[in-house]
Structure 1
Amino acid sequence: MSGNGKPAASQPTHDTPTTRGTSVEKGASAYKGSSTKAILHHYDYLGDFYRLFLGEDLVYSHAMWEAGDTLEAAQRRKLDHHIAAARAEGAERVLDVGCGYGSLLHRMVECHGVQRAVGLTLSPAEAARVRAQGWPRCEVRVENWFDHRPDGPYDAVIVIEAVEHFAGGTLWRSRRVARYREFFRRCHDWLRPAGRLSVQANAWSRYGWLASVLLSPERLAADGAPGRSRPTGRDAAAAVRNLRSGLHASRTVFPECFVPTRSELADASAGLFRIVSERRDPEDGIRTLGAWIELAEENQEDGARLIGRRAVDDIQRELRTSLRFLQEGRATTLRLVFEKL
């Protein structure tokens, strides 16, 4: 799981990949995504506060809402959506990459007849929480997807707001695509023939991260390419504000993260998967963040006792920035379903 609309500018701490064509060369020093240090900061340390406002099932990703929903109902609908989209109902083996606190693992075996659900996380706190539940047929591994070696093929793979951790802080599109492609290549290897991969990601607008941060909402909403009219002083001030907000989130809440675009994921998957379904659901992100912000405000004093006032303030500021980026059309909640070629 990751945040929303967060332009991470910090540079990755891992070596960049040595590539041959479009996949990482075996045995080479390769970028593996966010470092363990970054994951521990976000999910273990700051996670003490997150658990106070995520809702009953501790689902740390944008829900799928319908009229009259509670946060819990909307989250369970989102989990059911991805299970159906990946054709995981009744499957023998399903992989959840970035499994968080295990809500999807439990939902798959408890409600959808999955025989074995495997979850990957780099957070010991998340893994400990999953194991403490004692859920049957659920296995969690503190393991990077890059290092995952399954003991058999998967019928489906589901990735909900974990892609944001795969490319690091590089500003170069070609490097991000190469890093995403390595993930798609591994999923292709893990899946049975015609297996599906269901992905949810916080994503920039179709114009990419820089335009998404700098342009006004009116220009982003225009059909076709953004207008070429000269930016106003108000536009410039808003752009500076957006950059500062994004950099603040990168330093304090989401180190070593970068939000993708739809085109980056499509290019990275080309020749390995075909896209069979896609949705852009910014309203789902807006409603989820609204619910989280309300609960975070109610629990901020307890949170301050756990992680400190400054860290709580940083998280609340990031949540409000993410909400604004969605409302202004700078980012969206992207849902893509890929089928193995």
Structure 2
Amino acid sequence: MESDTVTNNPEKEIRSKGATAAGSPGSHLLAELLQAADIRINGDSPWDMQVHRTRALDEIVARHSLGLGETYMRGDWSCAALDQFFCRLLRANLQNQIKPFRHLWRVARSYFINLQSQRRAFQVGEHHYDLGNDFYRTMLDSRMTYSCGYWKDAEYLEQAQAAKLDLICRKLGLRPGMRLLDIGCGWGSLVGYAAEHYGVECVGVTVSREQKQFVDEHYADRPIRVELMDYRKLTGKFDRIASVGMFEHVGRRNHRTFMQVAKRCLNPDGLLLLHTIGKNRRHSTCDPWIEKYIFPNGDLPSNGQICDAAENLLLVEDLHNFGCDYDRTLMAWHENFENSWEKFADRFGMEFYRMWRYYLLSCAGAFRARHIQLWQWLLSDNRDGGVARVS
């Protein structure tokens, strides 16, 4: 899916009011920068920015990502195809053209302050994952899988998510009688699939009360146990460990600790599959708008940071990048979100609608531009010198 083509979009009411209130912003610095990405202010292309309050342009230049996102949430500007807008913006590297000095502090802070400490561990669960199981049920697939689907042979979301879960199980070489630990188990899609199709006993951990409640209710008849706890408190031994879409919350100061916990919990010759979004540059931080409104304390890892964390603890057996598939996954989530929005409009309100739309479509554009990646790492605790097999 290349752009936002969903009909009955509440934002159309804002766009239809026109840009007459915007005056003539074509000579603004931001307009000059956007031209490098073939983006016009008040232009006719679906990726063009329609400005409804001229002063918003000054705020965007002054506050960079936060200004861009917050002015959008207020309705100061709109765009028919936000995914295309962000893809073009990121491919042109416009995010590097305006760098307020305040972002230097954000980089330093990520190195000197542990934003993902145990004290903060439950913040992202309360802020993001506990919005309501009914809300996520309408956006996700039937198993409530909130991570990238695998679209190699899939035509729709349900197939892509089932294919991803099976891919993980095959990479781990799951067999009946094994014990699987899922660090950051979400709504239990992997443990549910693994128990049903591969006959394994599963333990999951999450920092979301809503997620634990969902798993307890939906998988009560299967050998699955889920604990509400921080991963650093994990004990016990397991044949296999998976972590799908959770490592983005671990933080660079804790990457090594995560690997130490995994090694501690793995049986000899065990395997760890790490499924995570990743960034291209080591010395960078989470987008400030995403951190403030979507994932508090988020910190995407780089390739080098993951290798550093695993060094002399676990062996890298395989690395698989299918980041392009996240674009398609996010667009499918966005379509489901738009189609079900009327059920939640009174509960969340228009600002939330625009925030969530901005989140899904900006991330789709980022993956399409290859600005961020989706990796599956397979690591082993291979003490006897054998070779782990990857299906």
What TM-score do you get using the length of structure 1 for normalisation? 0.75
Give the Cα–Cα distance (whole angstroms) in 1 for the partners of residues 185 and 133 of structure 2: 14
Cα pair 1:96 1:159 within 8 Å, conserved: yes
Residue equivalent to 2:346? 305
1:283 paired to 2:358: no
Residue equivalent to 2:195? 109
- Aligned match for 1:208, one of 272, 277, 282: 282
1:193 paired to 2:271: no
- Aligned match for 1:119, one of 204, 223, 226: 204
1:102-158 residue CA offsets vs partner (Å, 9 max, x unmatched): 1111111111111x10010011111011111223101011111111222xx100000
Q: Tell me, which stretches of 5 or more residues in structure 1 are unaligned?
A: 18-29, 168-175, 214-242
Residue equivalent to 1:179? 254
The AA in structure 1 aligned to 2:240 is: A
Cα pair 2:178 2:240 within 8 Å, conserved: no
Quote how far apart the aligned CAs of 1:46 are.
6.2
Give the Cα–Cα distance (whole angstroms) in 2 for the partners of residues 307 and 125 of structure 1: 18
Number of aligned residues: 277
Give the Cα–Cα distance (whole angstroms) in 2 for the partners of residues 261 and 91 of structure 1: 35
Q: Tell me, which stretches of 5 or more residues in structure 2 are unaligned?
A: 1-86, 88-94, 96-102, 383-391
1:20-47 residue CA offsets vs partner (Å, 9 max, x unmatched): xxxxxxxxxx933853133211000266
1:36 paired to 2:122: yes
Cα pair 2:324 2:370 within 8 Å, conserved: no
Partner SS for 1:65: coil
Give the Cα–Cα distance (whole angstroms) in 1 for the partners of residues 300 and 345 of structure 2: 28
| RMSD, aligned CA | 2.6
Give the Cα–Cα distance (whole angstroms) in 2 for the partners of residues 56 and 209 of structure 1: 38
Residue equivalent to 1:57? 143
Give the Cα–Cα distance (whole angstroms) in 2 for the partners of residues 129 and 253 of structure 1: 21
Cα gap change, 1:333 to 1:159, in 2 (>3 Å): same
Say which is worse superposed, 86-95 or 250-259, in terms of deviation.
86-95
Quote how far apart the aligned CAs of 1:294 are.
1.1
Quote how far apart the aligned CAs of 1:333 are.
0.9
Give the Cα–Cα distance (whole angstroms) in 2 for the partners of residues 306 and 188 of structure 1: 44
Identity %: 23
Cα pair 1:15 1:31 within 8 Å, conserved: no
Residue equivalent to 1:130? 215
Higher relative contact order (CA 8 A, sep 6+): 1
Cα pair 2:141 2:161 within 8 Å, conserved: no
Residue equivalent to 1:220? none
Residue equivalent to 1:230? none
Give the Cα–Cα distance (whole angstroms) in 2 for the partners of residues 33 and 85 of structure 1: 34
What TM-score do you get using the length of structure 2 for normalisation? 0.66
Cα pair 1:42 1:253 within 8 Å, conserved: yes
User: Aligned ranges for residues 1-341 of structure 1 at < 5 Å?
Assistant: 16=114, 31-32=117-118, 34-45=120-131, 48-114=134-200, 116-133=201-218, 134-150=220-236, 153-167=237-251, 176=252, 178-205=253-280, 207-208=281-282, 210=284, 246-341=287-382
